[in-house]
Structure 1
Amino acid sequence: MNRSLVIAPQWIGDAVMTEPLMRRLQARGERLTVGALPWVAPVYRAMPQVAEVIEFPFAHGGLQWAGRRAMAKALRGRFDAAYVCPNSLKSALIPWWAGIPRCVGYSGESRWGLINQRLPNPPEGERPPMVAFYSALSGETGLAADRPQLQLAPGAAAAALAAQGLAAQGFYVLAPGAEFGPAKRWPAAHFAELARQLALPVLLLGSGKDAAVCAEIASTVNAHQLGHCVDLAGKTSLDEAIALIASAKAMVSNDSGLMHVAAAFGVPQVAVFGSSSPLHTPPLSDRATVLWLKNDPSYQPPLDCAPCFARDCPLGHTRCLNDIAPARVLSAL
């Protein structure tokens, strides 16, 4: 059996998009170890094809040469092949320093000497959907039909639900955050209005960066229905958040990493898109409904500015999100 190291992307959504690659590699007899940053490692623990997850103790930015050299030394002699998902120079350093004989990845960022089996990197505007982009590292064809699928470890759901005093399918999840910026976030007031109309308890999930918006939503909702909305932003591990999403009756989110987690579990969901495009990064699930005013012919005047892919609305109105009413999301849900 070939022993393979996969260097994971650094974003939750991208990590989910690599699951079909793991499935392809494992199906042809490769034993998979994934090297991942701590905030995406839990995604790989929800992939049964992955035999081992190694958490890389690195931070965003910087090459962190000493730490990568030490990690590479610890991994030397363990692997026959490496698959490098990110395009950065630093992501290819560990396989190279570890002396892994076959290293597969895309050409990019001056790493000609580090990747010995290179795929041409398509221009940004011509890149295929992310699942196909990552699955191409397998060297196989027929990638368009691949959809990510996650699976909880035994007991994970029970532990997460017990900690919140909830039963499976007995609550909704709202994920109001989006790492990229305000132009991807449906307004907090809209989330609060939606939460007030849901018949079951509501959990707000997100990272510590989402604490302010989640606190605002919870405060508004609980002022009318005490205890109806539970703010868990920054208060759960990603393992726990994944288990709660997988156990929810349904989920509403922006275009975010947690959106892709819900899709990979087949959870009914409504995904609200604003400045980004569901043509490139949709939730890949038959149980997902996407709301995007850009492709709504009944919305006037048309959103000629979308998708702008900006962090903040360049025109100052953020119509693409403000004009998606809570009643419309409730109806879709």
Structure 2
Amino acid sequence: MADRSATVGERILVVGPSWVGDMVMAQSALMTLKMRDPRCRISVVAPPWSRPILERMNAIDEVVPLDVGHGEVAWQTRYRTAVTLKGRFDRAIVLPRSWKAALVPFLARIPHRVGFTGEQRVILLNERRDLDKSVLDQTVKRFVSLALPDDEARRGDFDIPHPRLEIDSDNLINLRLSLGLSSRPAVGMMPGAEYGPAKQWPLGYFRELACALVESGHEVRVLGGPKDVEAGDAICRDVPHSHNLCGKTRLADAVDLLADCHQVVTNDSGLMHVAAAVGSRVHAIYGSSSPAYTPPLTERATIHYLALSCSPCFQRTCPLGHTNCLNQLRPAQVLEAMTSSVTP
């Protein structure tokens, strides 16, 4: 009988996060695992919506869908999933810090279960790490640290590979035809931010910028989910060569459409991280959040952040009622940065 260990390395189950941007950043941890042990086999437990993103990551061998709502316990669903995983893994890495996220690896009796201390996970995890926020000051650093030995993770001087999502060229061609897109150089706009209005640049500013870009020969593509349809309409109404694609495309389509954009203008959102991972030049707008904590992971990014005395507050709505951190960032400033950016 052939020696299995000669062909297959450690079998690792990763419990993924529940947000688009976090899922993209999680790829840095998956890439780290593969670079450390190219023979390892990585499976990711994740919400079904994230499959189109995970399938574009070449470090993943298997996606295990866990169909539970955000914050739901859903004991039976988690138990049924755990039963299918018993005996298949050597180690589990739990990226989220909630106790619910650690349930599946515990119920599956995976022998080595690692994650950060929090939410009374004493029994659920058997390697619990303290989170030193002064060392692990970014979300992506925290994810990558869990893929490393604890002593190395504590130093905080490890490399962080940038996420890279694969592109489906055939799908992009079909999208260009079916959506009536032109051959003009495309600029993507993402006006949404799930967290709240304190992270959303004014729609009037997006529209003003769109008009200027179209006048200079660009095509504008506004991307987002069904909740962003009205925002897309507000930006694109009566603006030629602009397309409101919010709610009209799948998540996998957004990956390909953003890869086709020379530049993108985006709030601090999940699609910002997608744009970074497909190589677009990113103009990232920060209001209540901080570019030090969740930066776009690319060398091709321009950060637009006023760093007011009240920033970052990390609130969903401005506690002072003025949202100056966004309102005082004028479209002309962003346009100037885009004009001076080097495009491919």
Q: TM-score, normalised by structure 1?
A: 0.90
The structure-2 alpha-carbon separation of the partners of 1:102 and 1:209, relative to structure 1 and needing over 3 Å to count, comes to same
In structure 2, the partner of 1:82 is: 92
Partner Cα separation in structure 1 for residue 65 and residue 257 of structure 2: 22
Partner Cα separation in structure 2 for residue 169 and residue 3 of structure 1: 47
Alpha-carbon deviation of 1:161?
3.3
The answer to whether the 8 Å contact 1:251/1:262 transfers is yes
Q: In the alignment, is residue 214 of structure 1 matched against residue 232 of structure 2?
A: yes
Alpha-carbon deviation of 1:156?
4.1
Matches within 5 A, 1:194-233: 194-198=209-213, 199-219=217-237, 222=238, 225-226=239-240, 228-233=241-246
Letter in 1 for 2:29: L
Letter in 2 for 1:325: R
Matches within 5 A, 1:56-75: 56-75=66-85
The answer to whether the 8 Å contact 1:161/1:168 transfers is no
The answer to whether the 8 Å contact 1:214/1:233 transfers is yes
In structure 1, the partner of 2:328 is: 323
The answer to whether the 8 Å contact 2:116/2:129 transfers is yes
Letter in 1 for 2:314: F
Alpha-carbon deviation of 1:248?
1.1
The answer to whether the 8 Å contact 1:276/1:307 transfers is yes
What CA deviation, in whole Å up to 9, does each residue of 1:134-153 have, x standing for no partner? Answer: 11112254424432222225
Q: In the alignment, is residue 255 of structure 1 matched against residue 268 of structure 2?
A: yes
Q: What SS does structure 1 have at the residue aligned with 2:64?
A: strand
The answer to whether the 8 Å contact 1:266/1:285 transfers is yes
- Tell me, which stretches of 5 or more residues in structure 2 are unaligned? 1-7, 339-344
Matches within 5 A, 1:20-39: 20-27=28-35, 28=37, 29-39=39-49
Alpha-carbon deviation of 1:194?
0.6
Q: What SS does structure 1 have at the residue aligned with 2:49?
A: coil
In structure 1, the partner of 2:162 is: 147
What CA deviation, in whole Å up to 9, does each residue of 1:236-291 have, x standing for no partner? Answer: 11111111111211100011111111112221121111111111111122211011
In structure 1, the partner of 2:341 is: none
Letter in 1 for 2:75: W
Q: Structure 1 runs of 4+ off > 4 angstroms?
A: none
The structure-2 alpha-carbon separation of the partners of 1:322 and 1:121, relative to structure 1 and needing over 3 Å to count, comes to same
Alpha-carbon deviation of 1:85?
0.6
Q: In the alignment, is residue 177 of structure 1 matched against residue 192 of structure 2?
A: yes
Decide which of 136, 146, 155 is 2:145's aligned counterpart: 136
In structure 1, the partner of 2:4 is: none
The answer to whether the 8 Å contact 2:15/2:101 transfers is yes
Q: What SS does structure 1 have at the residue aligned with 2:128?
A: strand
Partner Cα separation in structure 2 for residue 280 and residue 291 of structure 1: 14
Alpha-carbon deviation of 1:169?
7.5
Partner Cα separation in structure 2 for residue 311 and residue 208 of structure 1: 20
Partner Cα separation in structure 2 for residue 114 and residue 309 of structure 1: 30
Alpha-carbon deviation of 1:127?
4.2
In structure 2, the partner of 1:279 is: 292
The answer to whether the 8 Å contact 2:184/2:218 transfers is no
Q: What SS does structure 2 have at the residue aligned with 1:147?
A: coil
Q: What SS does structure 1 have at the residue aligned with 2:70?
A: coil
Bigger Cα displacement from structure 2, 162-171 vs 243-252: 162-171
The answer to whether the 8 Å contact 2:32/2:161 transfers is no
Q: In the alignment, is residue 310 of structure 1 matched against residue 323 of structure 2?
A: no
Alpha-carbon deviation of 1:113?
1.0
In structure 2, the partner of 1:98 is: 108
Bigger Cα displacement from structure 2, 84-93 vs 109-118: 109-118
Q: What SS does structure 2 have at the residue aligned with 1:173?
A: strand
Bigger Cα displacement from structure 2, 126-135 vs 283-292: 126-135
The answer to whether the 8 Å contact 1:184/1:254 transfers is yes
Bigger Cα displacement from structure 2, 161-170 vs 107-116: 161-170
Alpha-carbon deviation of 1:40?
2.7
What CA deviation, in whole Å up to 9, does each residue of 1:40-88 have, x standing for no partner? Answer: 3322112111112222211112201111111111222222221111011
Q: TM-score, normalised by structure 2?
A: 0.87
Partner Cα separation in structure 1 for residue 48 and residue 17 of structure 2: 11
Count of aligned pairs = 319
Alpha-carbon deviation of 1:324?
1.2
Partner Cα separation in structure 2 for residue 21 and residue 168 of structure 1: 37
In structure 1, the partner of 2:342 is: none
- Tell me, which stretches of 5 or more residues in structure 1 are unaligned? 295-302
